[in-house]
Amino acid sequence: MNSSLHKLSIKVIAFMVVIFSSLTLYAQQTSRTVADFDKGWKFHLGNVASAEKKTANDKSWRTLNLPHDWSVEGEFNKDNPATQEGGALPGGIGWYRKTFTVPAASKNKLVYIDFDGVYQHSDVWINGHHLGFRPNGYISFRYELTPYLNFGGTNVIAVKVNNQEQPNSRWYSGSGIYRNVWLVTTNKTAIDHWGTYVTTPKVNADSATVAIDVKVKNPAHAHYRTQVLIYDAENKIVSTGGGVPSAQQWADTTATLSNKLKVVKPNLWLVNRPYLYKVVTQVFIGTNKVDEYTTPLGIRYFEFDADKGFLLNGEPLKILGVCDHHDLGSLGAAVNTRALERQLQILKAMGCNGIRTSHNPPAPELLDLCDKMGFIVMDEAFDMWKMQKNKYDYHLYWDEWHKRDLEDQLLRDRNHPSVFIWSIGNEIVEQFSKTDTSGRNIARELAGIVHNLDTTRPITAANNEPQTHNNLIASGALDLIGYNYHHQDYESFHKRYPGKKFIATETNSALQTRGHYDMPSDSIRRWPPSWDTKDFKGNPDNTVSAYDNVSAYWGSTHEETWKVMKKFDFLSGMYIWTGFDYLGEPTPYKWPSRSSYFGIIDLAGFPKDVYYMYQSEWTNKPVLHLFPHWNWEPGKTVDVWAYYNNADEVELFLNGKSMGVKNKTGDDLHVMWRLKFEPGTIKAVSRKNGTVVLTKEIHTAGAPAKIELIADRKIINAGSKDLSFITVRILDKAGNIVPNADNRVKFAVAGGSLVSVDNGDPVSHDSFRADNRKAFNGLALAIIKGRETPGDITFTATAEGLKPATITLKTK
């Protein structure tokens, strides 16, 4: 090659490098990045002086990934200040630090950190600069980092979490950065935080009008324009819009642009077919796209009618919902999308179509899942206002923070199609007073905040004294009159509130221990019998019968409330207390109980028997559920129940001999036989028009002989966030589950790791983080995650005297 040609080649290569570098920089400049910021944090439990400083020494601190709940890692103890009402687990102060770099190429951009939730009293610093304080443990918040960053060098974010002052919650709260954290980078001209508002003001079978408000930050006063694209579920564009701001909007540092688009022949969002579109909003300066932001869209219309109840897309629909607290059983408060999805799948299979976020703003992932899976969400804001329920609760911060916190919740959640109702409070103390009516003004203020940011959804509050003198109801601020309990007053609702609309915000408070049965089953018990009962005894082992015949004094059994709810159209729906057992609030007991008995499903995710009553009522799938187990003392009188549907009758057999045919009459929801126990087999046969629909058998189990492992999913994603839930069953040699088995099972994992263990026992004080667990009434649970790279996971369970079991999972 001659010298001139060589020089030309060098120039061409250099020119291409410049072009490539420019294209790379252009790509960086035109994209919004939302980076998962959960990995590689340092954690220290306990206060540390000057830990906010960039130069603080954290080398000896524990390294972990978020989300993280340090309380669930602790020991159950009756002396923990949270008490058994708060789960009897420790609180305290914790510090988190993370060292990270931001590329020099981002110097002309804006960088933010988003926290989905920190419990509680969080202070955040970047490179020693204090960014702010948020007392509310359930609210999402953002800080801008840009002015304090060392672009191209190292930076340190420090977070102090203070959950030391307790009790501050009536249930288990968890402690720490227990939700996800994100690092967000945008151009200077970009859509603001939670900066879109999408509504569907007009919907019919032929078309839907989609209104989009877009708030754009533009500190440089650039001449930008917007483009709006609506994509269907197949990722096809079905509508477009956009516009050019006015000269005044360009001159403003923030401006809101409004668009109206039309979708022809829309697929409507339904609970059994939750069709999702997405709205993609783009910002251009000239021909350069400088931002893009995606908003979920479910096209639906609904109303609450005083006489017809709830209607979705013009069709009557009873809301069949549950209330749930935010903990995920043995995982504690640390949010995990798969764990949430599993809970919703179990509820969906029961026929549930509604979730109340008791009693706080939920994790964003829960609402994403409810959008996709078809749940009607009551999104709740507060458990107390100015008047306290606990000494150290949110009432201390109400005056300064309630407006900001409610606004942040509304802005974050108002685009979710699953959100149908705003609840501004649960059993608020201000509802009761006949002399201090300040609660009326607060209710009106909160309703005004809601209406200022969203006019498309009704407002309610959960009232446990829903009389006409109730200050929240008397305020006129509530669109829906929310009843907590009082099922005996449902039928006369319109006599008390003519022309008003009803929602059962919280029902039942029925109590069960999975797999435990007290005879007789046909007498209803209120445990405890009244609010002022002292030294309530119950059962010596702190169990509650799993027949549906026990409730708290303020509530009802499941059947008592459902019998009323199903009769009247104007009763728009119900949210049962609760879907799942949760840590804390172990009514009717105190210590040594440490978790609730209210759930239709236990803490480990195993359904109690009443689950199948709802399944028989709320679904069309054939159901025949027979209980209890068939291991009793010879001659003992045992009540045998069956829940069933899609059949006229059920016949029960004991060791081949008919015990009679039963059918539901009147408002019956189950059938029952009273038998003298003899070992062998009970068999139920349901029939319709003489044809067998289903058959179920329960055998007297022998001694524990072997372990069975059942994974909810055998293929999971590699990494720390996807989980497999493995049910551990103790069987006799014939393969029957042993209903009273309590063998301690040890676990070993190769190719992955054991995240936590459980068994659903509300009295167990074993650590959730152990490598073993006793079975509880024949069952235990192990939760597994994979490594960062794909491969096989081998999980083995062993117990003394039992045949071991092994299961292989795959990560992809």
Q: For residue 787, what are the contacts with CB-CB under 8 A and spacing of at least 6?
A: 718, 719, 751, 752, 753, 811
Written as one letter, the residue type at 783 is: I
Place of tokens 């669930």: 72
Could you give the CA distance from residue 174 to residue 648 in angstroms, rounded to a whole number? 48
Residue 120 and residue 173 in contact, taking contact as beta carbons nearer than 8 Å: yes
Written as one letter, the residue type at 35 is: A
Of the residues 73, 85, 506, 560, which is catalytic?
Answer: 506
Residues in the chain, how many? Answer: 812
Question: Would you call 576 helix, strand, or coil by DSSP?
Answer: strand
Question: How large is the greatest C-alpha to C-alpha distance in the chain, in angstroms?
Answer: 108
Written as one letter, the residue type at 275 is: Y
Could you give the CA distance from residue 185 to residue 34 in angstroms, rounded to a whole number? 7
Could you give the CA distance from residue 754 to residue 764 in angstroms, rounded to a whole number? 19
Q: Is 560 known to be catalytic?
A: no
DSSP for residue 595: B
Could you give the CA distance from residue 780 to residue 272 in angstroms, rounded to a whole number? 32
Q: Is 427 known to be catalytic?
A: yes
Of the residues 52, 73, 380, 427, which is catalytic?
Answer: 427
Backbone angles phi, psi at 754, to 5 degrees: -90, 120
Place of tokens 């559920």: 625
Residue 276 and residue 372 in contact, taking contact as beta carbons nearer than 8 Å: yes
Question: Would you call 718 helix, strand, or coil by DSSP?
Answer: coil
Could you give the CA distance from residue 91 to residue 87 in angstroms, rounded to a whole number? 10
Q: Kindly give the pairing relationship between strand 41-45 and strand 525-526.
A: unpaired
Sheet holding 62-64, edge to edge: 62-64, 41-45, 92-101, 154-163, 122-126, 129-134
Of 192, 218, 301, 214, nearest in space to 261 by CA? 214
Please give the angle made by the CA atoms of 171, 173 and 174, to the nearest 5 degrees: 140
Active site residues: 427, 506
